[in-house]
Amino acid sequence: MIDLEPAAREVVRLLDGMSDGDLHNPTPCPDFSVAALLDHIMGLSLAFTLAARKAAPPEGFESRPGLGTAEHLDPAWRDVLPQRLDGLAAAWRDPAAWLGTAEAGGVSLPAEVMAVAALDELVLHGWDLARATDQKFTCDPASVQAVLHFTEASARPEQAGMRGGLFGPVVEVPEDASAFERALGYAGRDPRWTRDSA
């Protein structure tokens, strides 16, 4: 079992450092402003919580790669998103969440794989938000290793079909890059990304 709380807590910390003026900023996710990315995180946090609980989504709820718009962002996101992230971390602390299969966004996976996918979303989008709002991002060693393993596996040639909609093309990083920088590169992100380069 992997603890999602450190990654969830880091995203919540970043929210405290964001102003309303940051909502229009570009992010390392192409075509996603900060507001659209926040809306995406709102949806995925609920989707992965439901996956952990093996519960059906509420009527009309959708969450899949690519969804998220600035116009749809809940005006109460500063209050709602921390609650959803807390719920997400708590749901995956239940040993039963890791058993059997889990479904999110119309995709069924072994539950332990789904948990790592949830962690991957939190860590990568946490970094996205930090870069887009000029904040420092920190990631605990256990999360770094889990995300590195997940993104490295996704970069294998036989996984090319799976990458569509999840990650962009692999970005080459220096040989002396850190484990986290390598994970970013495998996920199609340039560790040197800045708003000026967007």
139-171 pLDDT, tens per residue?
Answer: 999 999 999 999 999 888 777 766 666 788 889
Alpha carbon distance 179, 167 (integer Å):
18
Among all chains, which residue has been given the structure tokens 């996710």?
Answer: 29
Domain boundaries, the chain: 5-197
For residues 169 and 10, the model is more confident at 10
Q: Please check the confidence at residue 65 and state whether its pLDDT lies above 80.
A: no
Which tens digits make up the pLDDT trace of 16-28?
999 999 999 999 9
Query: For residues 119 and 90, what is the distance between their CA atoms, to the nearest angstrom?
Result: 13
- CATH superfamily, with its number, for domain 5-197: dinb family like domain (1.20.120.450)
Confidence check: pLDDT of 66 > 80: no
pLDDT at 18: 97
Q: Are 39 and 68 in contact (CB under 8 A)?
A: yes
Smallest Cα–Cα separation from 69: which of 26, 24, 34, 39?
Answer: 39
Burial environment of residue 54 by CB neighbours within 10 A (0 to 12, 13 to 18, 19 or more): middle
Rounded CA-CA distance 43/104 in Å is: 11
CA pair distance 173, 31, nearest whole angstrom = 23
**Cα(93)–Cα(2) distance, rounded to whole angstroms?**
8
pTM of the model: 0.92
Tokens of residue 117, six digits:
């996918």
Cα–Cα distance measured from residue 13 to residue 5, given in angstroms and rounded to the nearest whole number? 12
Q: Could you give the CA distance from residue 67 to residue 39 in angstroms, rounded to a whole number?
A: 8
Where helices occur in 92-193 by DSSP H, the ranges are: 111-132, 141-154, 160-163, 179-186
DSSP assignment, residue 103?
A: E
What is the average pLDDT across 109-117? 95
Write down the mean pLDDT value for the chain: 92
